[in-house]
Amino acid sequence: MGLRIAVLGCGRIGQMHAANIARHPRAELATVYDIERRSAERVARAQGVSAAKSAQEIFASREIDAVLIATATPTHADYIEMAVAAGKPVLCEKPIDLDLARANACAAKIAGANVPVQLGFNRRFDPGHSAARTAMQAGEIGDLHQVIITSRDPALPPRAYLEAAGGLFRDMTIHDFDLARFMLGEEPTEVFALANALIDPELGAELNEVDSAMFVLRTASGKQCHINNSRTAVYGYDQRVELMGTTGMLISDNRKPHELRRFTSRNVEAGEPYQFFFLERYIEAFMAEIDGFVDCVEKGTPPLAGFEDGRRALVLAEAAYVSMREGRLVQVSEGTA
Amino acid sequence: MGLRIAVLGCGRIGQMHAANIARHPRAELATVYDIERRSAERVARAQGVSAAKSAQEIFASREIDAVLIATATPTHADYIEMAVAAGKPVLCEKPIDLDLARANACAAKIAGANVPVQLGFNRRFDPGHSAARTAMQAGEIGDLHQVIITSRDPALPPRAYLEAAGGLFRDMTIHDFDLARFMLGEEPTEVFALANALIDPELGAELNEVDSAMFVLRTASGKQCHINNSRTAVYGYDQRVELMGTTGMLISDNRKPHELRRFTSRNVEAGEPYQFFFLERYIEAFMAEIDGFVDCVEKGTPPLAGFEDGRRALVLAEAAYVSMREGRLVQVSEGTA
Amino acid sequence: MGLRIAVLGCGRIGQMHAANIARHPRAELATVYDIERRSAERVARAQGVSAAKSAQEIFASREIDAVLIATATPTHADYIEMAVAAGKPVLCEKPIDLDLARANACAAKIAGANVPVQLGFNRRFDPGHSAARTAMQAGEIGDLHQVIITSRDPALPPRAYLEAAGGLFRDMTIHDFDLARFMLGEEPTEVFALANALIDPELGAELNEVDSAMFVLRTASGKQCHINNSRTAVYGYDQRVELMGTTGMLISDNRKPHELRRFTSRNVEAGEPYQFFFLERYIEAFMAEIDGFVDCVEKGTPPLAGFEDGRRALVLAEAAYVSMREGRLVQVSEGTA
Amino acid sequence: MGLRIAVLGCGRIGQMHAANIARHPRAELATVYDIERRSAERVARAQGVSAAKSAQEIFASREIDAVLIATATPTHADYIEMAVAAGKPVLCEKPIDLDLARANACAAKIAGANVPVQLGFNRRFDPGHSAARTAMQAGEIGDLHQVIITSRDPALPPRAYLEAAGGLFRDMTIHDFDLARFMLGEEPTEVFALANALIDPELGAELNEVDSAMFVLRTASGKQCHINNSRTAVYGYDQRVELMGTTGMLISDNRKPHELRRFTSRNVEAGEPYQFFFLERYIEAFMAEIDGFVDCVEKGTPPLAGFEDGRRALVLAEAAYVSMREGRLVQVSEGTA
C-alpha cells in the first residue's frame, strides 16, 4: 500500500501528475478533483479512480494521506492553507501566488504547523541538474564562481495563457530563479534584469509583456549568475545549467529523444531535435519529485524544494521587475516587509 | 480494458516484462507462472495479481488473451506450440531453441495456425536503432553499403549462466544477427566468424567458450556487415549501429543516463558511463515491444520480429560456428534441411 | 614577391606575428623593431631578417610596404599616426589606447588619409566564429535575438601584466565587446556590467581590479547580448559564441587539440583539454588576419576590423566601467564628446 | 640551417611535401625533381628553389642531406636503393612496390647499410591516433583486445588512377594494415578479407577491382582487429581508430574543420562535414612526419615507420588478396620466401 495522494486540478500538468502517481511504486492515486467536473471525471476514469465532488471532501477524507495541488495559481495559497489545517502534506505547483504579499500571509498562517509542504520545482529533481549539484558539492569544481542558466521555451504560449500567467518572470523565470538559488548555495543579494518583446512585439504593446530576457544575479560572497530566457527555441525546449569553479566546470546539457546521428554532405553528427515539451523533457524529474514527496511524508525528510523556496523565488521575480523598470541593479531584501 | 497477458517465467527478464505489462496503458497483467512456485508468488504479489499453478492452466484460461514466454530456453519451443494450439498469441524471448532442428520442427508444427508469434528481439524496438532504419528506408543515405554493429556486454556473466547459454553466438550474437538482418533488408548469404577467449582464457579451456568475436556477413547483392562482440566493456553496455550508404551515414549511438558533462584540467566533455544493464539501456525498447505485441493481437499487424526471424538468426549462428571451426567464409543455407 | 611588412614590438605577440608573416604565402617579413634592441635582434635572427634600429627608420623606408604594431599599448596611437602620415598601411594590436580621448584624437588626426588601418581583433577571423556569422547572415537562424559570449582565460596573468593592462574590461573584455558588435550587426545602445575579484580577492584590494565579470548589452532594435568572463578556466581557454534566432541557433564551440576520446568505468567520451594558450587556440585566426590585411592593402577591401571598431570597443568598455561603478544600465553614446 | 632535403616527384603529394619542408623550422627544401621537367620547375619556382635536372644529380650532390621520394610507385624501390647507396637518408611514400618480391629484393640490397629509411605512413604521426597509442601504452585501457579501424575515402578516384594503383588493398588498405600493426603491438598472424564493387559495379567487371571491403585480423596472442573500407564517404574523409581493452576504450575520432554546430527544427548539434581531402585531414601528421624524419637523421632515432613496416604491410595485403580469392582465413607468413 503506497501513500494515498489526491490530485487537485486536472489540467495538463494535473493529468500528468495523476498518471505518474498511479504508476508510482510507493504511491497510489486516491482521487482527483477539478472545478470543471467533467475534466475530473475524465481523468478519474482514465486512471481507474473516482472523482471527488469538492476540494473540501478531499481535505476531510481519512482515506487520503496527502494532496498534490495543480489548480489555477490564484487558488494555490488557499489550498495550501486548507491542506495544512487538515494535516495533509502538500505538493503544490509553482508559483505560490502571483502576489508576494499573499505568499507571505500564507507563510505566516502555516508557520509552525509541521506539515510538509513541497513546491513543484521539478528541475531540482532532474537527473542531470541534480548530478551537477552533487558533483559540485563533492568538490569536483572547487569553489563555485559562476552559474549560467539557459532556459528557453520551444514556442510562445497562447495569448490567453499569457494574460493569466502573471508575467514572464513569475511564470517562467521563477523556475530559473529557483534553480539559481539551488545551485548557488546561498541567497542572491543583487539582481539585474533586462527584457523586451522580440518574438511578438505586440505582446509588449498590448499585454505589457516580454518574451526574451537576460538576468544577472550576485550573492553576498560574490558568486555570479546569468540567466537567459526566450519563448522561441525552435530546436526544442532548451534547458542547460553550467557551473564554473576554480578547478573545473560542469554542464548539465540538453537531452535528445534518442541518440541517432546523421552524416551527410551538408553536415555531420546531426542529432534529433530536443524534446519539445516540458512534460517529456522533465519526465524523470516529475517522477523523482513524487519520490521525494513520498520520502518527505514517510521518512520525515525535509522537502528538496519547500515553501520558503517558493517564496524566495517570488522575491527574486519581484526584484527583477523593479530592476527592469528602473534599469538598475536591485538589492534583494527578505521580501517579508 | 487492455490485452490480458500472462507471463511465463519469473526470472530477471520475466519480472521486467510483468512490471512493464502491468503499467502498459493498453495491456494488463493477467497472471504469472514459474516452475519455482515461490518466485511466481513473489512477482504476483508485487504486481497485485495471483500466480498460476501451471502453464496448462494459463493456456486453458478464457481470462487470458495472450502469453509472454520468458522461461528457460529449452522450454520455449514447447510453450510456443502449446500456446499456438490453444489459440493464444505469443511473445517469446529469444532464442527459440539452442537446436536449430527443434526450431524447424516447431515451425512445421505451428505453420498455418494463424496465431501471432512474436520473438523477443527488443533491439528492433529501440528508438535510436528504429529511427536509423526509418531514415534509411526513407532514402536518407541512398543505397546501403555497409552495416557495423558494435555489441559488448559490460561484464562476463557468471560461469553457471555461461554453461547453460549455448555459446556466445546463440546467446549474445543472436541479437546482432537479427539486427543485421533487420538493417540489411535482405538475407546474409555468407558468414565469416573469428572468436576466442581473451577476457577469461580458462573459458576456452574448460567450457570451449569464447568471449570476444568478430564477424563479417554479406548479402546476395553484396551489402557488407561487420559485428564485433566482447563480454567486457567496463564503460557500460556498448550498443551501436552504423549504416553507411551512398549519400550518407547514420549512427545509432550509446545513450547516457543523463547529460552531465565534466570539464577539468585532465579532460573535457566527459560524460556519465553508459547504462550498465541491458534492462536499463533498452527500457524504452522493451515497452515498445509490448506495444507492438498488442498491435499484433488487436490490429492483426504482422509482428516486427516474428518466428521466422528467430529461426533465421539461429541459422546464422550455426553457420558462424561452422565458419569459426573451419576458418572459412560459409554459405548460408535456408537452414531447414 | 609578397607584401613587405615590418613588425614593431617583439614581445610574445609580436614574435608570433613575425613568424606568421614569414611563412605567409602572400607576405614577407621586411624587418622587426623593438625598444629593447636585443629582443629585436633575437627575433630577426630567428626569421632570417635584419633588425631595424628605430621605428622612424621603418616609416621612412621604401623597402617596407606596411607595418604591424605590436608594441606596448601607450605607443599604439603614436605609431598609427606616424604610419598613416608615412602612407604605410597599419595592422595594430588592440587596444588603440587605454584612454578613449587619446583614441578620439588619433581618429581625428588620421581622418581622410585613406591609408588602411586594421585592428587586431583576431576573433573575427576565427574559422568557427566567422562561419557562425556567415550562416546567420545567410538567414539560417532567421532574426537574431540573443548573443551569448563565453570568454575565459585559462589562468590569471602575472601581477606585473595586470598592473599595466588597464583593467579587465579594456584588456580582455575588449575582444568580447568587439565580437558582440560583430555578431549583433548593430550598435549596442545599453550596457550593464557586474564584476568582482573571485579568484584572487587581493586583486580587488590592491589593484582595484576584478577577475570575474558578467555583462548584458542591448541594441536599439532590442537584440540582447550576454558576455561572461573569468580569468581561471582550468580546462583550457574557453571561447564560445552562441547566436539564437527565430528559426535556429548557432554555437561556435571550443576546439580540442585532437579528437581522442576516452571511455572508462568513471566516464565516457572524455576529450583532451582545450588549447591552453590564445596563440594556439586562435592560430588559424591570426594567419587569416594577415591574409585579410594583405587583401586590404592589395585589393583595397575595407578591413574586417577597422580603427572605428577599435574605438567603439573602447566606448563600450568605458560605459561598462560606469555601469559597474554605479550599478545601473548605462546608455552608450558615440563616445566622441 | 636545417636539414637540406630534396623532393623527388612533383605530383600532388610531392608538392605538399615540398611546401611542408620549405616552412619546417628544422628543414629546408634543397631542390625538387620530376620526370616532367615543367612540373618540377613550377614547384621549384613556387618554393623559391631551383629544379634538379635528374635524380642522379640529387644523389650525387654534397649540398643535399636527405631525400623524400614521392615519385610513381614503380620507381620507389630503385630510388631507395640509389639513395641508400649514396648514403642519403630516405623518406619514401608508400608502397615500397606493388610486387612483394621487388620489396624483398630491395630489403636485401639495403640491409646493413645503416642509412635511415622512413616509410610515408603518415597516420602514425596523426595527433589523435598517436595520442590513442600513447594512452594505451601507458596502460589506460589495460590489455588491448580489439582494434576497429574505419577508413573511407570521400569519393572514388579517377579510372586512370585506379588502373595504376595496384588494387584497393595495396593502395588504400595498406595504410590500415600498417595502422593495425602499429596499434596491435604485435604481428597479425591471420587475415580474412571480403570485398566487392558496390559503388561502381563496372569496376569489378572491367578492372577486376573492388571499392568496399571488410577485414578481420588476429595476432598470435589472440588480439582481434577489424578494418572497413569504402571509396565513397560523402560526409568527408572518414578516419577512425577504436582501441578496446580490459579497463577502457579509446577512440581517435574524425576532426571537423571548425566547431560550428547548428540547431534547427530539423536537427541539433549538426557539425561541418569532415575534411574532404587527405592532405587537409592529415596536415598535422604530414608536418610531424617531416619532424620525425629530421630526428632520424640528426639524432639517429629509429624511424617511427621504417622499411620493414612498409614490407609487412605489403605482406598483409598479399595475404588479404589470397583470403578474398579463396574465401578463407589465411595464415600470414614472414613473406620473404
Nearest CA in chain D to C262: D250
DSSP string, A282-296: THHHHHHHHHHHHHH
| Set of chain A residues whose Cβ sits within 8 Å of the Cβ of C222 | 196-198, 212
Residues in D touching C127 (Cβ below 8 Å): 257-258
Residue of B nearest to C236 (CA): B265
Contact call for C264 and B236, based on CB within 8 A: no
The reply to whether residue C271 touches residue B273, judged by beta carbons under 8 angstroms, is no
Residue A6's DSSP bridge partners are A31, A67
CB contact residues (below 8 A), chain A span 83-142, against chain B = 126-128, 131-132, 135, 140-141
Q: Number of Cβ pairs closer than 8 Å across A and D?
A: 55
**Helix segments in D165-282, DSSP class H:** 168-171, 173-184, 201-202, 278-281
pLDDT of residue B280: 85
Instruction: Give every residue of chain C whose pLDDT is below 70, as ranges.
Output: 1, 337
Take residue A283 and report the three cell numbers written for it: 519526465
pLDDT higher than threshold 90 for residue B334: no
Three cell numbers, residue B306: 516474428
Report the alpha-carbon distance of residue C212 to residue C225 in Å, rounded.
17
CA dihedral angle for residue C20, residue C25, residue C29, residue C30, rounded to 10 degrees: -160
Q: Do B198 and D223 lie within an 8 Å CB cutoff?
A: yes
Predicted confidence (pLDDT) per residue in A121-149, tens digit: 999 999 999 999 999 999 999 999 999 99
Residue B225: closest CA among B284, B272, B183:
B183
Any residues with CB less than 8 A from the CB of A287 and at least 6 apart, and which? A20, A24
Q: What is the arithmetic mean of pLDDT over B181-193?
A: 98
CB pairs under 8 A between B and D: 106
DSSP D337: -
- Inter-axis angle of helices A100-110 and A307-326, to 10 degrees? 160
The residues with which A217 forms a beta bridge, in sequence order, are A191, A225
Find, in chain A, the residue whose alpha carbon is nearest to that of C221. A198
Which pLDDT does position C275 carry in this prediction? 85
Task: Quick: pLDDT tens for D204-255.
Answer: 888 899 999 999 999 999 999 999 999 999 999 999 999 999 999 999 999 9
Average confidence (pLDDT) over D111-126: 96
Q: What is the number of alpha carbons within 13 Å of residue B201 lying toward its C-beta? A: 4
| Model confidence pLDDT, tens digit, residues B30-71 | 999 999 999 999 999 999 999 999 999 999 999 999 999 999
- For residue C192, give the nearest of A148, A192, A212 by CB distance: A192
Angstrom distance (rounded) from CA C140 to CA C249: 8
DSSP A109: H
Contact by Cβ (8 Å): D48, D67: no
Pick from D145, D230, D248: CB nearest B244? D230
The CA distance from D57 to D88, in Å, is 13
**CB C125, CB C304: distance < 8 Å:** yes
pLDDT of residue D265: 96
Name the DSSP letter for residue D209.
Answer: -
Q: How far is Cα B224 from Cα B51, in angstroms, rounded to an integer? A: 48
Q: Report how far residue A36's alpha carbon sits from residue C6's, in angstroms, rounded to the nearest whole number.
A: 81
Distances (CA, A) of C41 to A310, C61, C67, D34: 67, 19, 18, 39
Banded model confidence at residue A249, pLDDT cuts 50, 70, 90 = very high
Residue D76, H or E segment: helix D76-85
pLDDT value of residue B25: 85
Domains of chain C in start order, with CATH, are 3-115 (3.40.50.720), 124-276+313-336 (3.30.360.10)
* Pick among C149, C168, C196, C216 to test the A interface (most A CBs inside 10 A): C216
| Mean pLDDT, all residues of chain D | 95
Report helix, strand or coil for C292: helix
- Cis previous bond, B303, omega within 30: no
Phi, psi of D312 (to 5 degrees): -65, -40
- Between A73 and B25, the more confident residue is A73
Q: How far is CA B8 from CA A321, B50, B81, B93, in A?
A: 62, 13, 14, 10
Phi-psi region of B43 (alpha: psi -120 to 50; beta: other; left: phi over 0): alpha
Q: CA A218: distance to chain centroid?
A: 21
Q: What is the mean pLDDT of residues D43-55?
A: 95
Cell of D8: 623527388
Contact in structure between A198 and C142 (CB atoms under 8 Å): no
Q: How does pLDDT run across A320-335, given as a tens digit for each residue? A: 999 999 999 999 988 7
Task: Report how far residue B230's alpha carbon sits from residue D226's, in angstroms, rounded to the nearest whole number.
Answer: 13
Q: How far apart are CA C8 and CA C14, in angstroms?
A: 7
Residues of A in contact with C194 (CB under 8 A): 190, 192, 216, 218, 224, 329
Q: What is the pLDDT of residues C40-90, one digit of tens each?
A: 999 999 999 999 999 999 999 999 999 999 999 999 999 999 999 999 999
Whole-number Å distance between alpha carbons of D70 and A29: 77
Q: How far is C100 from chain B (nearest CA, A)?
A: 38
D322 CB neighbour count, 10 Å cutoff: 14
Residue type, C206: E
Residues 214-273 of C with CB under 8 A from B: 234-236, 254, 256, 262-273
> In this structure, is the dihedral angle defined by the CA atoms of residues D253, D306, D18 and D297, taken in order, positive or negative?
positive
Which of D254, D265, D271 comes nearest A267 by C-beta?
D271
Nearest one of B197, B209, B201 to B171, comparing CA atoms? B209
D274 → chain A, closest CA residue? A268
Of B143, B150, B218, the CB nearest to D194: B218
In what helix (H) or strand (E) does residue D317 lie, and over which residues does it extend?
A: helix D307-326
Q: Determine whether the interchain pair C128/D248 forms a contact, defined as Cβ–Cβ distance below 8 Å.
A: no
Better-predicted residue by pLDDT, B92 or A336:
B92
- The 10 Å Cβ neighbour count of residue D125 is 22
DSSP E strands: which ranges in C197-245? 212-219, 224-230, 238-245
- Per the CB < 8 A criterion, the answer to whether D119 and D92 are in contact is yes
Give, as one character, the DSSP assignment of residue C173. I
- Dump the DSSP string for B115-163: --EEE--GGGG-HHHHHHHHHHHTTTTSSEEEEEEEEE-SSPPPHHHHH
Q: CB neighbours (10 Å) of residue B11?
A: 15
What cell does B81 get?
506450440
Using the beta-carbon criterion (under 8 Å), do A252 and B259 form an inter-chain contact? Answer: yes
- DSSP letter (8 states) at residue B207: I
- Which of D196, D224, D327 lies at the smallest CB-CB distance from B329? D327
Q: pLDDT tens, D312-325?
A: 999 999 999 999 99
pLDDT at B1 over 80: no
Note whether B196 contacts D: Cβ–Cβ < 8 A.
yes
Contact yes or no for D267 and A272 at CB 8 A: yes
Name the grid cell of A328: 538598475
Residues 6+ apart with CB under 8 A from D12: D279
Q: Which of C198, C244, C248 faces A230 most closely, judged by CB atoms?
A: C244
Contact A264 D235 (CB under 8 A): yes
Distance from CA of B239 to the nearest CA of C (A): 14
Q: Find residue A80's DSSP bridge partners.
A: none
A270, D273: Cβ pair inside 8 Å? no
Q: Which chain D residues touch A266 with a CB distance below 8 Å?
A: 273
Quick one: pLDDT at residue A1?
Answer: 64
Q: State the Cα–Cα distance between residues A269 and A261, nearest whole angstrom.
A: 5
Distance CA D275, CA D257 (A): 6
Residues from chain A that touch B247, judged by Cβ atoms under 8 A, are: 264-265
DSSP state of C111: T
Question: In angstroms, what CA-CA distances link B246 with B145, B182, D27, D231?
Answer: 7, 19, 42, 10
Residues of B in contact with D132 (CB under 8 A): none
Q: What confidence score (pLDDT) does residue D280 get? A: 85
Give CA angle at C135 (C133, C138), nearest 5°.
110
Q: Is the pLDDT higher at B126 or at A164?
A: B126
Per-residue model confidence (pLDDT) at position A337: 61
How confident is residue D131, by pLDDT bands cut at 50, 70 and 90?
A: very high
- Collapsing DSSP states into helix, strand and coil, what is residue B113? coil
Whether A223 sits inside 8 A of C145 (CB atoms) is no
Q: What is the pLDDT of residue D1?
A: 65
- Report the residue from B145, B150, B196 with minimal CB separation from D198: B145
Query: Which residues from chain D sit within 8 angstroms of residue C254, using beta carbons?
Result: 259
Phi, psi angles (nearest 5°) of residue C128: -70, -50
Residue A167 has pLDDT above 90, yes or no: yes
How far is CA D291 from each of CA A255, B134, D43, D90, D130, rounded to the nearest angstrom?
Answer: 43, 48, 22, 13, 14
Inspect the interface and report whether the beta carbons of A256 and D268 lie closer than 8 Å: yes
Say if CB B63 and CB B4 are below 8 A apart: yes
